[in-house]
Amino acid sequence: MVVTNFHRRYTGVSATVRALVPVQRQAMKIGLLDWGRLGLSANMRWWHLLWLGWTPPSTARFRIWHARRDIEIVVGLLLKTLLRQPWKIVFTSAAPKRPGLWLGMLLRNCDAVIATSERSAQFLASCTQVIQHGVDTSYYSPPPNDELSRLKTSPLPQGLASVPCSLAGHYWIGAFGRIRPSKGTDLLIEALIQVLPDFPDFSAVITGLCQNKHQKFAQSLQVKVVNAGLAERIVFLGDLDRETVRSCYRRLLLCVAASRSEGFGLTPLEAMACGRAVLVSGAGVWPQLVDPQVGASFQTGSVDSLVMALRVLLRDPQLLWQMGINGRQRSLQCHSLQGEANQINQLYARLMDWGSGL
């Protein structure tokens, strides 16, 4: 089995590969062809493919090539058809839209196509299996001695030395992901400006990378926050490392995901695994995952709907806390990374054993 990551920048796909491969390796021997420096062991080189690619594994007729990008499918097809190596090509699709002509043609030549949600499966001409993303529930977990009474007084996460002291002693609302229009960052800022003056116990943190092309967008949001007099209660933390992100999840009372569009959207699941309530738009897979037991939803793209939902939730911190407890249990039962890895490995095994598309 070979998993591919043909992208220099660390993206959501990269994060998926980085999380899944070590768990999959607990049951199977899996190589990684990595352009993104994910830091995982047993990286392969191109010469491995030329040296070993014609030799099937000792217990099966075929090897598995698992792609998540179109260029990765292309390379797998070249190995399979041009060099006639014994590969079965698996592709994972998260996009909630119909593939373009190019990708659609490539998918018709894959031996198995995984959709990460029922919604994304509806746009595929053929879907072998729906396997939802999971999260590492041992890593994304509540902090020790987690109690609502301690949340406002808990220390600020390490690595956030520049955070205003005003955030101490407040409940946190948090948003995670890229800073750009598709993520709905502007919707959340508009809603927070309206809502926070009526809820003095709450502040908000916005995290995530902002690319150069979205710098003006981010700056306009910061100007709005300053003009509203909320610069010490709505704080942009920038791009954070994985450990600091987890510390921020643990400090939250509510995680908000306001995307206008989303492939899958892992941040609400990560927050749930940390025992935190979630408020989501109707993008991605979120309508299938979030119900009143673990959080709430609002109409995609609507500031008014988001404002209304925030006002209802922030009135009752105890309710938010109970939603977080429920979310943690839901994550353990239904959304673990181990469960996702097991299903993918089982699909690999079926393809290798029977030697034909499913």
How far apart are alpha carbons 256 and 173 in whole angstroms?
Answer: 7
Identify the pLDDT of residue 160.
73
The CATH class that applies to domain 2-134+337-354 reads: alpha beta
Cα atoms in the Cβ-side hemisphere of radius 13 Å centred on 194: 14
101-105 long-range contacts (CB < 8 A, ≥24 apart) are: 102/70, 103/70
How far apart are alpha carbons 283 and 259 in whole angstroms?
Answer: 6
Query: How does residue 45 score in pLDDT terms, banded at 50, 70 and 90?
Result: confident
pLDDT: is 59 or 3 the higher one? Answer: 3
Identify the pLDDT of residue 161.
62
Using the predicted structure, report yes or no on whether residue 358 has a pLDDT greater than 60: no
Using the predicted structure, report yes or no on whether residue 234 has a pLDDT greater than 80: yes
Rounded to whole angstroms, what are the CA distances from 159 to 141, 208, 346?
19, 14, 40
Identify the pLDDT of residue 263.
79
Question: What's the mean pLDDT in 271-287?
Answer: 94
Query: How does residue 162 score in pLDDT terms, banded at 50, 70 and 90?
Result: low
Identify the pLDDT of residue 292.
97
Question: What's the mean pLDDT in 13-23?
Answer: 91
Q: Diameter of the chain by CA atoms?
A: 67
Beta strands across the sheet bearing 129-130: 31-34, 2-5, 63-67, 87-93, 112-115, 129-130
Percent residues over pLDDT 90 in the chain:
72
Q: How many CB atoms within 10 Å of residue 232?
A: 14
Segments of the chain assigned to CATH 3.40.50.2000: 148-334
The answer to whether the beta carbons of residues 156 and 140 sit under 8 Å apart is no
Question: What's the mean pLDDT in 46-58?
Answer: 81
Query: How does residue 77 score in pLDDT terms, banded at 50, 70 and 90?
Result: very high
Burial 136-173 (b: 16+ CB within 10 A, else e): bbeebbbbeebeeeebbeeebbeebeebeeebeebbbb
Which residues, at least 6 apart from 211, have a Cβ–Cβ distance to it below 8 Å? 178, 180
pLDDT digits (tens, 9 = 90+) for 104-146: 999 999 999 999 988 889 999 999 999 999 999 999 999 998 9
CATH topology of domain 148-334: Rossmann fold (3.40.50)
Rounded to whole angstroms, what are the CA distances from 34 to 54, 65, 98, 244?
21, 13, 27, 25
Using the predicted structure, report yes or no on whether residue 36 has a pLDDT greater than 60: yes
Query: How does residue 356 score in pLDDT terms, banded at 50, 70 and 90?
Result: very low
The mean-pLDDT minimum among 5-9, 11-15, 74-78 falls in 11-15
Using the predicted structure, report yes or no on whether residue 262 has a pLDDT greater than 50: yes
Query: How does residue 355 score in pLDDT terms, banded at 50, 70 and 90?
Result: very low
Query: How does residue 33 score in pLDDT terms, banded at 50, 70 and 90?
Result: very high
The answer to whether the beta carbons of residues 75 and 53 sit under 8 Å apart is no
Identify the pLDDT of residue 213.
94
The position carrying tokens 């409940």 is 171
**Mean pLDDT over each residue of the chain, to the nearest integer:** 91
Question: What's the mean pLDDT in 39-58?
Answer: 82
How far apart are alpha carbons 31 and 25 in whole angstroms?
Answer: 9
Percent residues over pLDDT 70 in the chain:
97
> What does pTM read for this prediction?
0.84
Using the predicted structure, report yes or no on whether residue 97 has a pLDDT greater than 90: no
Using the predicted structure, report yes or no on whether residue 101 has a pLDDT greater than 80: yes
Question: What's the mean pLDDT in 173-202?
Answer: 96
Identify the pLDDT of residue 118.
87
